[in-house]
Chain A
Amino acid sequence: MNKNKKIPFKTPEGYFDSFEDKLMDKLSKTESTIPKDSAFKVPDNYFESFNESLKGKLDNEPKVIPLFPINKIMSVAASIAAIALIALGYNWNSSSELGFNDLANTDIEAYFENNDFELSPYEIAEVLPVTNTEYSDFLSSPIEGDNLLDYLNENVSDFDELNIEDNE
């Protein structure tokens, strides 16, 4: 709607809301040397037959069935623990508990190497608190401030990607 009563013209509804996008699109397409067709094709009737092949795969998905019921395992484990406790004698005052520090670094590395967590480095970064981690802990040589600035200058095109507010 025209807010200026003196001008008798109107614009289509939502014209100004979408103007910027349209302009940007047009700007990027002007004298464009970039073809619009990506040239990727699919086999004939691929999408028509996709549902069937998906159904086949879903039906063949392996279901996880426990080899032994958990209750049975628990009772067996409890019996073994009780027998071992009596047979060996339990030292109640023992202070030698295994902790994270007892793990060899190679074991930890091997664990991460051999287990697929389906986590991208970004996802891991999201749960890793930056404040509690010193970069020097996992860098063999310290990064010079100038090198860091050069790197950011050359590689960060989108300031939002740094998520500075989130990590403050």
Chain B
Amino acid sequence: MIEEDTLVLDLKTKSKQAVAFEVLVNTYKERLYWQIRSIVLSHDDANDVLQNTFIKVYKNIDGFNGDSKLFSWMYRIATNEALNFIKQRAKLQGVSDTDYQDKLLSNLEADVYFEGDEIQLQLQKAIATLPEKQKLVFNMKYFQEMKYEEISEILNTSVGGLKASYHLAIKKLKQYLKED
């Protein structure tokens, strides 16, 4: 696999940019997709946000100064794009973010790209009840199996804080699923 420093350098060099961007997209599209999908839920919306994320990365690569890893930087962009997407859609429809997310959940049952059984649907409803940060941490740790150190760099939160958020999320989800 191509070294990150080389990839960043190539992305900033006009003559090598196109090839480097292709490598970048191929390397990260799936991981970023699942991060976005866990927030926006629908495939079509995830596709839009993923494309916007890569366009933003392409346009802003010159501003990437290497303070964090390229992957963390892109993950942050993807997460913010997805969260902003939800907020903008809610605003457009004149409803609160929570109401909009409820609507997304109710659409899930008819979504052809969601093949969940009753318990998986309940789990998505349970996840929707978590505070935003716990929701992000849970999805990144449980479904995407990311390391706390990676999540820490992306969400700019201490590893200790993340562990607390994660275990609290697990506790709440179990409670929700038990009660329901």
Interface residues in chain A, defined as those with a beta carbon under 8 Å from any beta carbon in chain B? 21, 24, 28, 32-43, 46-47, 50-51, 53-54, 57-58, 61, 116, 118, 120, 155, 157-161
> Known interface pairs A38-B38, A38-B143. Does A157 touch B168 (Cβ–Cβ under 8 Å)?
yes
Determine if A54 and B51 form an interchain contact, defined as CB atoms under 8 angstroms apart: yes
In Å, the complex CA distance between A120 and B132 comes to 13
In the complex, chain B residues whose CB is within 8 Å of the CB of A33: 119, 174, 177-178
Q: Could you list 19 examples of A-B contacts with CB < 8 Å?
A: A21-B147, A24-B166, A33-B174, A35-B119, A35-B120, A38-B116, A38-B123, A39-B114, A39-B115, A40-B37, A42-B33, A46-B47, A53-B51, A120-B83, A157-B131, A158-B157, A158-B165, A159-B164, A161-B161
Q: A28-B170, A35-B119, A58-B55 are in contact. Are A120 and B25 (CB under 8 A)?
A: no
Q: How near does chain B come to A160, taking the closest CB pair, in angstroms?
A: 3
A57 and B87 alpha carbons, distance in the complex (Å): 23
Residues of A within 8 A of B170 (CB): 28, 34
Residue from A34, A42, A54, A159 within 8 A of B173 (CB atoms) = A34
B77-95 with Cβ < 8 A to chain A: 80, 83-84, 87-88
Question: What's the count of A-B pairs with C-beta under 8 Å?
Answer: 108
Known pairs A32-B174, A41-B43, A120-B84 / 15 extra A-B pairs, C-beta < 8 Å: A33-B174, A35-B123, A36-B143, A38-B38, A39-B115, A39-B121, A43-B43, A43-B113, A50-B25, A51-B26, A51-B29, A58-B54, A157-B134, A158-B134, A161-B133
What's the nearest-Cβ distance from chain B to residue A26, in Å?
A: 12
Interface assignment of B22: CB less than 8 Å from any CB of chain A: yes
Complex A-B, nearest 8 residue pairs according to Cβ-Cβ distance, in ascending order: A39-B116, A160-B161, A39-B120, A41-B113, A28-B170, A158-B165, A157-B168, A38-B143
* Set A39, A58, A61: member contacting B117, Cβ < 8 A: A39
Give Cα A155 to B41, complex, Å. 25
Which single member of A34, A57, A116 contacts B88 (CB below 8 Å)? A116
Q: Is the CB of B115 within 8 A of A47?
A: no
Q: Are B148 and A61 in contact (CB under 8 A)?
A: no
**Residues in A whose Cβ lies below 8 Å from that of B34:** 40
**How many chain B residues touch the partner (CB < 8 A)?**
54
B interface vs A, CB < 8 Å?
22, 25-26, 29-30, 33-34, 37-38, 41, 43, 47, 50-51, 54-55, 58, 80, 83-84, 87-88, 113-117, 119-121, 123-124, 131, 133-134, 142-143, 147-148, 157-158, 160-161, 163-168, 170, 173-174, 177-178
Contact residues in A for B165 (Cβ distance below 8 Å) = 157-158
- When distances are taken between beta carbons in the complex, the residues of chain A under 8 Å from B33 are 42, 47
Would you call B58 and A34 a contact (CB within 8 A)?
no
Q: How far is the CB of B20 from chain A (nearest CB, A)?
A: 13
* Given A39-B114, A47-B33: A28 in contact with B167 (beta carbons within 8 A): yes
With A34-B142, A35-B119, A54-B54 known as contacts, the answer to whether A157 contacts B43 (CB < 8 A) is: no
The smallest beta-carbon distance between A1 and chain B, in angstroms, is 23
Q: Tell me the smallest distance from the CB of A27 to a CB of chain B, in Å.
A: 8
Beta-carbon contact of A47 and B160 below 8 Å: no
